Amino acid sequence: MDQGQSTLYAVAVKQVLEDRHIEVEMKEQVAIVTFNRPQVRNAMTLNMWRAIPGIFKDLESDPEVRAIILRGADRDFCVGADIVEFSQVRKDIAQAKEYEVAVDACCDAIFEINKPTLAAIQGYCLGGAVHLAISCDFRFAAYQSTFGIPAAKLSIVYGVKGTRKLNSLVGMTNAKKIFYAGEQFTAETAHEIGLVDQLCGVALAEVSMKDSSHASEQVMDAAFEYAKKLSKSAPLTIIGAKKILNGLNSGMGDITFEIADNVIDQAAASQDYLEGRNAFIEKRQPQFKGK
């Protein structure tokens, strides 16, 4: 990222936090990042895409943060890019390329952060929001969620990085179905094809209006409980496993034996390794510090 881009992205962080279009809060050792534009179903502006790398950089450097949850305000996770602003920020090929750079930088920041990430999905999860979700390590979704990538309805080609992640989760045939038709599909279908890890709440066939109103709470509760569990694990194990697994799945040379050996050796020489070993012998809960 050049100096001009760095400045743009720094300004974006300041702007979205001031506008509260993205909110960050801590609950125990879990950071909760909320897309907060419920009046437009949490659609992502260009500034929001640009802000996430800076926000995640701060979360990565904070030793108190052990896990991160992405969620949307009110009834929806996110409907993807704010297409209303496309006429200003994505009006030609040059701007389209710049926009995709921002989207990839955002999703790379989520995908590559050395802490576990979870998406708590309710309502709509469409378009670029799917890329946000699949950049997380885990996806929890309410039965009432709706998924889809309507690129074929906008004559947009999904980028390589997002396509690669989707393909690794759902397989080529299902990825082609999602892209070619651009149709929406249920959370149950998303779970069946491997896009969603856990369904929360009650099935659509059994849902009542009361149940529907609590869908957001149910999925957030499930994601938070799992995040708390992960926060007790050794940070260096998560860093190493995530780097190796993400590299193996990328298929583009992102992992080498040298990189793998580095994270393995770092964990083996750590204070946390000694703490884990001693805690096991002493039959107590280890207190990991990420060092």
* Mean pLDDT across 124-128: 97
Q: How many angstroms separate the CA atoms of 90 and 68, rounded?
A: 30
Q: Is 272 helix (H, G, I), strand (E, B) or coil?
A: helix
Q: Where are the domains of the chain?
A: 3-230, 235-282
**pLDDT of the residue at 36:** 98
What pLDDT is stored for residue 209 in this prediction? 44
Q: Which two tokens stand for residue 288?
A: 């990991």
- pLDDT above 80 (res 1): no
Phi, psi of 17 (to 5 degrees): -70, -40
| Secondary structure of residue 78 in the 3-state scheme | strand
278 band by pLDDT with thresholds 50, 70 and 90: confident
Distance CA 66, CA 59 (A): 9
Closest CA relative to residue 63, chosen from 21, 100, 29: 29
Q: How far lies 232's CA from each of 81, 116, 223, 268, in Å?
A: 35, 11, 15, 18
Is the predicted pLDDT of residue 143 greater than 90, yes or no?
yes
- 3-230 folds as 2-enoyl-CoA Hydratase; Chain A, domain 1 (3.90.226)
- Tell me what pLDDT residue 111 has: 96
User: What's the pLDDT score for residue 73?
Assistant: 97
Question: Are 291 and 271 in contact, with CB atoms under 8 Å apart?
Answer: yes
283 vs 75, more confident: 75
pLDDT (tens digit per residue) in 19-73? 999 999 999 999 999 999 999 999 999 999 999 999 999 999 999 999 999 999 9
Of 114, 110, 108, 95, whose CA–CA distance to 46 is shortest? Answer: 95
Please tell me the pTM assigned to this model: 0.88
At 215, the pLDDT band (50, 70, 90 cuts) reads confident
Residue pLDDT, tens place only, 259-277:
777 877 888 788 988 888 7
DSSP SS3 for 269: coil
Tokens for 139?
A: 């996806």
Average pLDDT value over all residues in the chain: 90
Max CA separation in the chain (angstroms): 63
